[in-house]
């Protein structure tokens, strides 16, 4: 199975994370995104690379998850880590920031 974890970062500058790890049964890609729009671009790219499962970090609010869901094919599974107020985003939801 190919999966991708996408996390939000408030850092508009600096290194972009796009790393891949492998077990015998799972290839896990980890990518950083600077906004919901950027996350959609990343999600489309990794799906084109064969990813079939996407896990979103707790910074994605309900609106952000919905945006990704609408942007991707129906067969792509989307999971979500849940924080109402994300500690890495100054204790607000990505819905407030993006």
- The model's pTM is 0.84
The count of other CB atoms within 10 Å of the CB of residue 62 is 12
The answer, yes or no, to whether residue 88 has pLDDT greater than 80, is no
Average pLDDT of 4-8? 96
Burial class of residue 36, CB neighbours in 10 A (0-12, 13-18, 19+) = buried
- pLDDT, position 90: 82
The residues that bridge with 54 in the sheet, in sequence order, are 4, 78
Average pLDDT of 9-26? 88
* Domains of the chain, start order: 2-97 (3.40.50)
- pLDDT, position 94: 77
């Amino acid at each position: 199975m190919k999966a991708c974890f996408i996390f939000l970062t408030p850092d508009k500058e600096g290194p972009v994370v796009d790393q891949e790890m492998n077990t015998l049964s799972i290839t896990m890609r980890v990518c950083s995104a600077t906004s919901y729009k950027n996350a959609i671009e990343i999600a489309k790219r990794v799906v084109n690379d064969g990813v079939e499962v996407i896990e979103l970090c707790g910074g994605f609010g309900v609106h952000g998850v919905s945006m990704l869901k609408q942007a991707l094919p129906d067969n792509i599974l989307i999971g979500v880590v849940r924080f109402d107020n994300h500690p890495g985003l100054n204790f607000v939801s990505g819905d407030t920031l993006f």
